[in-house]
Amino acid sequence: MNAGYHDGEPVVVTAALTGGVHGKEANPNLPETPAEIGEAAAACERAGASVVHLHARRENGERAFSTDRFQQVADAVREATDDVILQHSTGGTAAPEDRRIEPIRTDPPPEMASLDMGPLNRYDHLTSENTRAFVDRLHDEMRERGIKPELEVFNDGHLNETLAFLDRSDTTDPPYLNLVFGGGTTSPPSPRRLLTHLDDVPDGAEVNVLGFGPHQLPVTTTSMLVGGHARVGLEDNVYYRQGEPATSNAQLVERTATVAEQLGRPVATTTEARSILGL
């Protein structure tokens, strides 16, 4: 970790707009079509997000992995936004590996893409395997295409996997880790556990944090307090507060920006974010 709140390093705010698990059935304000995702990205950029994490959907909200559909989403986001950094998801529980590579084959490629560091259970019978061989295959293509990986660390075991990946790979500096807190296979959420995780993060790495559901605000706030970055959005949490559905992704980004400023951390511009992330 580079800086704490005293250093005043800007916070990189990532907006996870759509996701690949739930959809409008969970919150009708969740954007699914390319046009909706573009509009949401623009609103989040105005609210302080410098990175948008993108998934693609079919017209009926179901998951899409094709390069064509990601191209439509990326084009819509670029059209609607000023300078925001695009980060494509490569996650995809149960989808064949060849499909999961398609999102990074857009033209131009995204500046960033997610890279899941290990297995993750879904429902009672599914697992997103994310074998080391597949992680390396995805990373090789990201490197060829000049895409910066965000290393998705779902739990302590994935921290081990991340350290081993950094040893064997020639990924660009600084490593950018996203620590995930919530239920299931992710790290049990608590500020204390987040601080413990940070002890194991390699020197020089930048750390992003996300929390699912009601954990979004506490763990992202803790992250910003100790020098980390924050990811929020309807992919991770469809409520603004208990019992009150969020009205938009931008509403969640606005709150994060307010908290950051209150903690003495300015919200990173897109230029500052590119510098911090080594893009």
Counting residues that bind other proteins (by CB under 8 A) gives 24
Is residue 100 near other proteins by the rule CB under 8 A? no
Among 2, 4, 5, 26, binds other proteins (CB under 8 A): 26
Is residue 20 near other proteins by the rule CB under 8 A? yes
* Range 158-166, long-range pairs (CB < 8 A, 24+ positions): 158/117, 158/118, 159/197, 159/200, 159/201, 161/117, 161/118, 161/132, 161/135, 162/117, 163/200, 163/202, 164/132, 165/117, 165/132, 165/135, 165/136, 165/139, 166/202
Q: Two tokens at 172? A: 């660009």
Is residue 59 near other proteins by the rule CB under 8 A? yes
Is residue 244 near other proteins by the rule CB under 8 A? no
Residue 160 CB neighbour total at 10 angstroms: 14
Q: Least Å distance between CB 251 and other proteins? A: 21
Among 7, 126, 140, 146, binds other proteins (CB under 8 A): 126
For residues 59 and 203, which CB has a smaller minimum distance to other proteins in the complex?
A: 59
Distance (Å) of CA 232 to CA 22, 86, 172, 250: 15, 15, 24, 9
Is residue 125 near other proteins by the rule CB under 8 A? yes
Q: State the binding string over 62-81 for other proteins (x if CB under 8 A, else -).
A: xx------------------
Q: State the binding string over 143-182 for other proteins (x if CB under 8 A, else -).
A: ----------------------------------------
Q: Least Å distance between CB 114 and other proteins? A: 16
Is residue 35 near other proteins by the rule CB under 8 A? no
Alpha carbon 49 to chain centroid, angstroms:
12
Q: Least Å distance between CB 92 and other proteins? A: 9
Give the interface segment with other proteins, choosing from 58-66, 165-173, 198-206, 242-250 (CB under 8 A): 58-66
Is residue 96 near other proteins by the rule CB under 8 A? yes
For residues 50 and 72, which CB has a smaller minimum distance to other proteins in the complex?
A: 72
Is residue 133 near other proteins by the rule CB under 8 A? no
Give the interface segment with other proteins, choosing from 101-109, 122-130, 195-203, 220-228 (CB under 8 A): 122-130
Give the interface segment with other proteins, choosing from 75-83, 117-125, 209-217, 260-268 (CB under 8 A): 117-125
Give the interface segment with other proteins, choosing from 60-68, 171-179, 237-245, 248-256 (CB under 8 A): 60-68
Among 1, 2, 3, 24, binds other proteins (CB under 8 A): 24
